[in-house]
Amino acid sequence: MPYACAFGTLPSVVTLADPAQGWAPLWMTGAGATLGVGAHLLNTLPDLADDERTGVRGLPQRIGERRSRLLAAVLLPAASLVTVLGPAGPPPTWAWAV
């Protein structure tokens, strides 16, 4: 939850600094949150054994290495898809390539 909230609100940090001071669009918040959780899952993989010994019990430790990899493999492309499909109007051709 902390990674989803922190990464999700990061786009609003930028948009609220603008003189217009508006919140970031919902799709941007969702893409940031999805990216944050996916990155967190992958970042914890090398430390799972140490975390187990020290009693760390976050989501990646609870669901294990295999499920963390699988969930990250779904979330990271989903963040890209939200970024391409989120803005109003049809996505530009170059966006699909990226």
Q: Are 17 and 65 in contact (CB under 8 A)?
A: no
Question: Using one digit for the tens of pLDDT, what is the confidence trace for 37-88?
Answer: 999 999 999 999 999 899 999 999 999 999 999 999 999 999 999 999 988 8
d(CA 76, CA 66): 16
If one counts the domains in the chain, the total is 1
d(CA 23, CA 35): 19
Which pLDDT belongs to residue 9?
A: 95
Per the model's pLDDT, the better-predicted residue between 65 and 18 turns out to be 65
Q: Which domain holds residue 93?
A: 2-97
Q: Are 67 and 83 in contact (CB under 8 A)?
A: no
Span 28-39, average pLDDT: 96
Residues in contact with 40: Cβ distance below 8 Å, sequence separation at least 6, in sequence order? 3, 60
Span 25-48, average pLDDT: 95
